[in-house]
Amino acid sequence: MKHHVSMLLLFNLLLIAFGETLSIEKPTTAMPTPERLDNSCIHIGRVINIQGEVQMRRKGWGSYHPIADGTELCSGDLLEPSNGTKAIVQCADLALNLWILPDDELSSVNSGCRPPKKPTYSISVPITPTRDPFARRIPYIISPNNTWVLSNQPILRWSNVPGATSYVIRVSGLGVDWKQEVKTTKLVYSGQPPLKPLGEGYLIKVEANNGESAAKATFSLIAPTQAAQVRDAIARLNREKLTDDAKTLAISEIYITQGLISEATELLEAAVAKGSKTAAVYYTLGNLYSHIELFEPALKEFLTALKLATDTRDIQGQAIASARLGEVYKAIGEQDKATYWLKKAQVKQQALISLKPVSY
């Protein structure tokens, strides 16, 4: 946790040094979220692929319920695959290999995964907007935005501004003052001067040629030892025979728990572009968009996730997507829609805590 706090302080010092003011959100550690019913979830991993059926029971649930690919796991969850089922779990602890659930046997998730030794990041936190969600005249930085990055040459992305024909991008920090003008909304940092890891935070400014204020965001290069752990974990995954969606979910789990929001976003966007049929891909991408307050695309992803979760009769997935839709609509001031979706989420949550399995 100390490195999270020190990073926040450094970002604020950088902003003061450059004469800027910006509200910086502290990177968040795993914590209870509105869709979790027990208020004590310790994130421990994610089910990335199920061939067959797995039933799960969580603290606070009245009975076992079927789960789908991408289900997040909390410490203490009980998993019961049916006979002949193959289910694979990506643990949050980078040091652990994939866990194959024992067939036709009740298992605690703690028997295959353990809570990470260090706090991990979470994007499943209450949505609390800090900017005008209807702003259109200022380019909004999509990535990297309040995140760590893995590459010394991160991809810089920002929203299009109606009427703007060019943008000036500046990356600044200790030892770096880089500027370039482009006509697109995407640019790769040149790598020169080189970014320095962890202890050095960087400020991005993007200014459209429409005379409005510039957008600002911060990021930092991940520490070399942590970067090596991430790459090793991904290399192990690449040696496994996994479906495309299973690999996407597993690698995004690694990225997100390490605070690599930009990398996770790009990975999930690619899966969506290919037409993924896994609700968790869309739900997770919606969460990433919400994390940086891109609410319109977040709504689109949550609605798709809800449809896919409904098609597969995934009650937990429906509850989560509905709750997130309610939170986003509340964040953008559409209270009637927020109330509608939050009530829908409550109905699904009540089904989970019911003493009887849900009948279809």
Report pLDDT for 359. 44
The alpha carbon of 300 is separated from its chain's Cα centroid by a whole number of angstroms, namely 15
Q: Which residues does residue 100 pair with via DSSP β-bridges, in sequence order?
A: 88
Structure tokens at 21: 């003011």
Residue-wise burial string across 295-322, b where 16 or more C-beta atoms lie within 10 A, e elsewhere: bebbbebbebbbebbeebebbbbbbbbb
Poorest-pLDDT segment among 84-98, 172-186, 205-219: 205-219
Q: What does the alpha-carbon distance between residue 289 and residue 293 come to, in Å, rounded to a whole number?
A: 6
At residue 1, does pLDDT exceed 60? no
pLDDT tens by residue, 81-115: 999 999 999 999 988 989 999 987 899 999 999 88
Q: Give residue 51's pLDDT band: very low, low, confident or very high (50, 70, 90).
A: very high
Sheet of 65-66, strands arranged across? 65-66, 54-57, 78-81, 107-108
Span 150-175, average pLDDT = 92
Structure tokens at 248: 């996407």
Domain 2-25+126-221, CATH: 2.60.40.10
Report pLDDT for 40. 66
Span 139-153, average pLDDT = 91
Q: Give residue 179's pLDDT band: very low, low, confident or very high (50, 70, 90).
A: very high
Report pLDDT for 101. 93
pLDDT tens by residue, 328-356: 999 999 999 999 999 999 999 998 887 55
Where does residue 210 fall: left (phi above 0), alpha (psi -120 to 50 degrees), or beta otherwise? alpha
204, 18 contact by CB (below 8 A): no
At residue 121, does pLDDT exceed 90? no
146, 25 contact by CB (below 8 A): yes
Mean of per-residue pLDDT scores for the chain: 84
Amino acid (one-letter) located at 203: L
Report pLDDT for 298. 95
Amino acid (one-letter) located at 294: L
Length of the chain: 360
Report pLDDT for 214. 81
Q: What does the alpha-carbon distance between residue 6 and residue 150 come to, in Å, rounded to a whole number?
A: 19
Domain boundaries, the chain: 2-25+126-221
Q: Give residue 118's pLDDT band: very low, low, confident or very high (50, 70, 90).
A: confident
Cis-peptide, bond into residue 297, ω within 30° of zero: no
pLDDT tens by residue, 70-79: 999 999 999 9
Contacts of residue 74, defined as CB under 8 A and 6 or more positions apart, other chains included, come to 36, 38, 40, 41, 42, 43, 44, 58, 59, 109
Span 280-301, average pLDDT = 93
pLDDT tens by residue, 232-279: 999 999 999 999 999 999 999 999 999 999 999 999 999 999 999 999
Which stretch of DSSP H or E encloses residue 303?
A: helix 295-311
Q: Give residue 119's pLDDT band: very low, low, confident or very high (50, 70, 90).
A: low
Q: Give residue 2's pLDDT band: very low, low, confident or very high (50, 70, 90).
A: very low
Extract long-range pairs of 247-251: CB within 8 Å, 24+ residues apart. Answer: 247/48, 248/276, 248/281, 249/46, 249/48, 249/49, 249/69, 249/70, 249/90, 249/278, 249/280, 249/281, 249/284, 250/46, 250/48, 250/90, 250/98
The alpha carbon of 342 is separated from its chain's Cα centroid by a whole number of angstroms, namely 21
Nearest to 158 by CA among 207, 192, 231: 207
